[in-house]
Amino acid sequence: MNITIVGLGLIGGSLAKAISSRTSHIVFGIDRDPKVLDEALADGAIRHDIGLGALEKSNLVILALYPAQCIKFMEQNASRIRKGAVVTDVCGVKKSICDALTPMAKKFGFCFVGGHPMAGREQYGFEAAKQDLFDGASYVLTPSDGCDDGVERIRELALSIGCGRVVLTTPEDHDRRIAYTSQLPHVLAAAYVNSPTCPMHVGYSAGSYLDVSRVARINENLWPELFIQNRDALVVEIDFLIQNLTRMRQDVASKDQDALTAALRNSRLRKETYG
Amino acid sequence: MNITIVGLGLIGGSLAKAISSRTSHIVFGIDRDPKVLDEALADGAIRHDIGLGALEKSNLVILALYPAQCIKFMEQNASRIRKGAVVTDVCGVKKSICDALTPMAKKFGFCFVGGHPMAGREQYGFEAAKQDLFDGASYVLTPSDGCDDGVERIRELALSIGCGRVVLTTPEDHDRRIAYTSQLPHVLAAAYVNSPTCPMHVGYSAGSYLDVSRVARINENLWPELFIQNRDALVVEIDFLIQNLTRMRQDVASKDQDALTAALRNSRLRKETYG
């Protein structure tokens, strides 16, 4: 396949490196920063830099942009996509993207398959990209009707670059689950380190501090958009968390050891059962 | 030195393994479970099992028991401790232990130095003990007056078994900091996995879920006691966290992207500054 990757940041750059080093597909890159394109060419992450013309030559286009940019890029360039090609994105929210891009796909005769490779790092940009970023990761797809071939094409690609599994679901289901598994941990890590006590932790922190706070090193230009686009599901999850914290707080304050033991037994069993 | 370790669980067992494999001190073990003593003798973690008589022969006694057990053990056995010996504990709370054991030390003529080696695992018992558990860890000491020699003895021992640093402070200061760096992450990990959404996460979880939830696999027989003994400081920290979460929840619900960006920028800068 000819594959165009639009946006060579952490995710797009890692996809480019993984595809170019682990498959025989030919990767074209599009990025607004010419320096990034030069770097990507120099290290072999992309084969060609021919600008927007790459869209016409590709069987698969991967949009690795922030959600609003992604929609804007397609509003400007959907007409350049080859008929019958497959377009996918990598955004952490799916409903808003699929709602915007599925009608464009119908109009211009390509297939759109929403995608979310569940991998990341606390750094960003092409310089943080790694060809092994997706090793063992889940790659979630939210296909629209009539895109079975496109799904197969992306599934094979995902597995060939190291993903552990490809999961199919609806955009709504994806967004609801991701609110819990990805957005909420980022919210709570940020809330945790924003405590006034945080600067006093040095010398007193063990693994639990480090683990819980790791993703507090967050890209503040990306995540607010993801949170807001998925606000209904995320607010529900934050409310569950606040409820559980409030209950444990009351049990601590009232010295209710039995209630705390029951809550911690439940959390241990869940962790042992569900991983 | 002759060193007696009372309680060969995760922490006591790891201390025994580390001291016996990395120093020339002679380790005696005391445990209520004869099978654990046999195992510890067999793998060289302890040199001798002579029961409570070990207390009379030791220059250093390390109490590696849960807080209430620790106090109870000393109420029954403080008179057996050699005059001039140093006694320390490993409990995750310090004020309640120091308040109970410092007067006993004065009465029976030994030194008590509160201790907290900041290391752990999500498993427990002697079978989870590892000689490298303390590599790089902070070892916090809360000495009472007139125990300078005892502090030096424990400091040397801590560094010789791999600890990265020894930190001296008061019991009150320790408990306040630990509420944030250790107890709060355990509370929030437990609250997080106790969400009704948790069982649906499989296939949708990346590193952030795994990191934030790791310590939810918690020892429910130990931690409620630690939480309750440190309840004033812990409740303050839970309240800070709930406040921050509530503010972010409102910002998400009201689509206040600027406020979210500011909160996440702050959390990123803190993580980059303080680790």
Rounded to an integer, what is the distance from CA B240 to the centroid of its chain?
A: 23
B240 at interface of A, judged by CB pairs closer than 8 A: yes
Per-residue buried b or exposed e for B69-93, using 16+ beta carbons within 10 Å of the residue's own CB: bbbebbeebbebbbeebbbbbbbbb
- Asked if domains A2-169 and A174-274 share a fold, the reply is no
Report the distance separating Cα B142 and Cα B90, nearest Å. Answer: 11
For B188, the closest chain A residue by CA position comes to: A245
Q: Is the pLDDT of residue B269 over 90?
A: yes
Distance CA A220, CA A206 (A): 26
Interface probe for B, chosen from A11, A166, A192 (most Cβ of B below 10 Å), is: A192
CB A192 within 8 A of CB B185: yes
In this predicted structure, the answer to whether residue B116 has a pLDDT above a threshold of 80 is yes
B190 vs A140: CB contact, 8 Å cut-off? no
pLDDT recorded at residue B121: 86
Is B170 an 8 Å CB contact of chain A? Answer: no
Confidence class of residue B145 from pLDDT cuts 50, 70 and 90?
confident
- The Cα B63–Cα B109 span in angstroms is 17
- Which residue in chain A is spatially nearest to B251 when comparing CA positions? A228
How high is the pLDDT of residue B275? Answer: 87
pLDDT of residue A84: 94
User: CB of A65 within 8 Å of any CB in chain B?
Assistant: no
pLDDT tens, chain A, 275 aa long: 999 999 999 999 999 999 999 999 999 999 999 999 999 999 999 999 999 999 999 999 999 999 999 999 999 999 999 999 999 999 999 999 999 999 999 999 999 999 999 998 888 899 999 999 999 999 999 998 889 999 999 999 999 999 999 999 999 999 999 999 999 999 999 999 999 999 888 878 778 999 999 999 999 999 999 999 999 999 999 999 999 999 999 999 999 999 999 999 999 999 999 88
Q: How many CB atoms lie within 10 A of CB B120?
A: 22
Query: Residue A149's pLDDT is what?
Result: 93
pLDDT, tens digit, 9 for 90 and up, residues A192-225:
999 999 988 887 877 899 999 999 999 999 999 9
Interface ipTM above 0.85:
yes
At residue B136 the predicted structure's pLDDT band, cuts being 50, 70 and 90, is: very high
> How far is it, in rounded angstroms, from Cα A164 to Cα A169?
16
* Model confidence pLDDT, tens digit, residues B37-76: 999 999 999 999 999 999 999 999 999 999 999 999 999 9
Instruction: Give the whole-angstrom CA distance, residue A102 versus residue A111.
Output: 8
Q: What architecture does CATH give domain A174-274? A: Orthogonal Bundle (1.10)
* Res. B26 pLDDT band, cuts 50 70 90: very high
Interface check for B41 against chain A (CB to CB < 8 A): the answer is: no
Q: Is the predicted pLDDT of residue B206 greater than 80, yes or no?
A: no
Query: With 90 as the cut, is the pLDDT of residue B146 above it?
Result: no
Q: Per-residue pLDDT for B240 more than 80?
A: yes
Q: DSSP characters for B107-164?
A: HHT-EEEEEEE----S--SGGG--TTTTTT-EEEEEEPTT-HHHHHHHHHHHHHTT-S
Q: Distance from first CA to last CA of chain B, Å, rounded?
A: 37
In this complex, how many residue pairs, one in chain A and one in chain B, have their CB atoms less than 8 Å apart?
Answer: 322
The domains of chain A are located at 2-169, 174-274
Q: Do B197 and A180 touch (CB under 8 A)?
A: yes
Cβ contact, residue pair A165, B224, below 8 Å: no
Separation between Cα atoms, residue B133 and residue B154, nearest integer Å: 17
CATH top-level class for A2-169?
Answer: alpha beta
E strand or H helix that includes residue B261: helix B257-274
d(CA B101, nearest CA chain A) in Å: 22
Backbone phi, then psi, for B136, in 5-degree steps?
80, -5
State the pLDDT at residue B122.
Answer: 80
Sheet holding B165-168, edge to edge: B26-30, B2-6, B60-63, B86-89, B111-117, B138-143, B165-168
**Contact (CB, 8 A) for B85 and B75:** no
| Residues of chain A contacting residue B215, judged by C-beta atoms under 8 Å apart | 207-208, 211-212
Residues 6+ apart with CB under 8 A from A6: A12, A30, A31, A61, A62, A63, A64, A65, A73
Q: What confidence score (pLDDT) does residue A204 get?
A: 85
What is the mean pLDDT of the segment spanning B88-100? 96
A222 touches chain B (CB under 8 A): no
What does the alpha-carbon distance between residue A168 and residue A181 come to, in Å, rounded to a whole number?
16
Specify the amino acid at residue A143. Answer: P
* pLDDT at residue A103 in the model: 96
The C-alpha atoms of residue A241 and residue B135 are separated, in whole angstroms, by 34
Strand, helix or coil for residue A81: coil
Task: Provide the pLDDT confidence category of residue B203 given band limits of 50, 70 and 90.
Answer: confident
Could you tell me the CA-to-CA distances from A24 to A50, A130, A182, A246, B135 in Å, in that order? 19, 18, 32, 54, 45
Q: Between chains, do A204 and B245 touch, taking CB under 8 Å as contact?
A: no
- Quick one: pLDDT band at residue B200, thresholds 50, 70, 90? confident
A57 in contact with B, Cβ within 8 Å? no
Indicate which of A94, A188, A218 best probes the interface with B, i.e. most B CBs within 10 Å of its own CB: A188
Question: In this predicted structure, what is the pLDDT of residue A121?
Answer: 86
| CA separation for the pair A100, B229 (Å, rounded) | 54
Tokens of B55: 């207390």
A235–B194 C-beta distance less than 8 A: no
Q: Which residue of B has its CA nearest to A274?
A: B199
